């Protein structure tokens, strides 16, 4: 059995992708029903934090860790029973991500945040025009 899954890119201010209609510019793939992917639309908001000038802040790293734990757990707000485990997971992922981002070495010049944001905006204008 095959089902269709839509992948889309969202802004941090968006709560979720539409459930019934595919978002404009989304990629459509067919997945085997035995796939571990969920049956709902899967939203991705993955941002690179390494090799920026100025470097990623602790708040940015924590926000990415929170996004990761939310994705893994499948919920944006844990129940009271799971709140301690959820918060501990966010803290642990934040610590590991901080070490990773600050320890990566590269020969490339650091990227400028404003320039990368401008490029992303231009790509979005082309894609959604």
pTM of the model: 0.59
- CA 104, CA 86: separation in Å to the nearest integer? 27
Q: pLDDT tens digits for 74-124?
A: 988 899 999 999 999 999 999 999 999 999 999 999 998 889 889 989 999
Q: pLDDT tens digits for 48-81?
A: 888 888 888 999 999 999 999 999 999 888 999 9
Cα 35 to Cα 3, 4, 21: the distances in Å are 10, 11, 21
- CA 97, CA 67: separation in Å to the nearest integer? 12
């Amino acid at each position: 059995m095959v089902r269709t899954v839509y992948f889309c890119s969202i802004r941090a201010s968006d709560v979720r992708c539409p459930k019934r209609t595919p978002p404009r510019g989304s990629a459509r793939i067919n997945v085997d029903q035995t796939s571990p992917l969920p049956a709902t639309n899967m939203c991705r908001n993955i941002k690179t934090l390494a090799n920026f000038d100025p470097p990623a802040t602790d708040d940015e790293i924590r926000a990415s860790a929170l996004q990761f734990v939310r994705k893994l757990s499948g919920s944006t707000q844990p129940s009271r029973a799971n709140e301690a485990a959820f918060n501990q997971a966010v803290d642990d992922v934040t610590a590991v991500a901080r070490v990773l981002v600050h320890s990566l070495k590269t020969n490339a010049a650091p990227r400028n945040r404003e320039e990368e944001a401008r490029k992303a905006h231009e790509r979005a204008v082309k894609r959604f025009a």
